[in-house]
Amino acid sequence: MNDLTAAALARADAEESTLYFVVPLIGPADNVIPCAYFNARWERIPSPKPLDTVNTNAIMFAQQSVGLSPDVLAQLGNNKPDTSVTLFVAVAKTLEKPSGLPNTFVATGLDQATTFTVPVGPGTRRGVVLVFRRPASGNAQTLIATSDPEIRNGSSSDD
């Protein structure tokens, strides 16, 4: 476990949130950036499977693009991490029913190691759009969104 992973785990534990690592990938176009998602044990979550909370009511997204272990890189297959971007903000929408939960989130932390936490009420699902900035450090020149991962409270899981 590297220092960035240890710091993200400690913060998720302190915030009582379920941690998922986000690895932005080099994609075919600049308008949508593909991402790989991993749980706290660095096991890749197959897309488009929803990201579930585990005994919490929030999910922490933590970017990690550099210093990935050979095992994690192997799970990416032919995909390569995009080290030219940093997780910047996110927008979440509760699906199916109103929740009163916040919808916008600003990432905090070091370039290419930023995090934010999205609350997920019991029995709810949320669509989340992650937005990355390019270049990874300095002034943002370009904002690039992801296709939205679905997150849900573990108590609403049906699989």
Q: Report CA-CA distances (Å) from 153 to 53, 105, 156.
A: 5, 18, 6
* pTM attached to this predicted model: 0.83
Residue ranges per domain, the chain?
3-156
| H-helix segments, 16-144 | 70-75
pLDDT tens digits for range 143-159: 888 876 788 887 544 44
37-47 mean pLDDT: 91
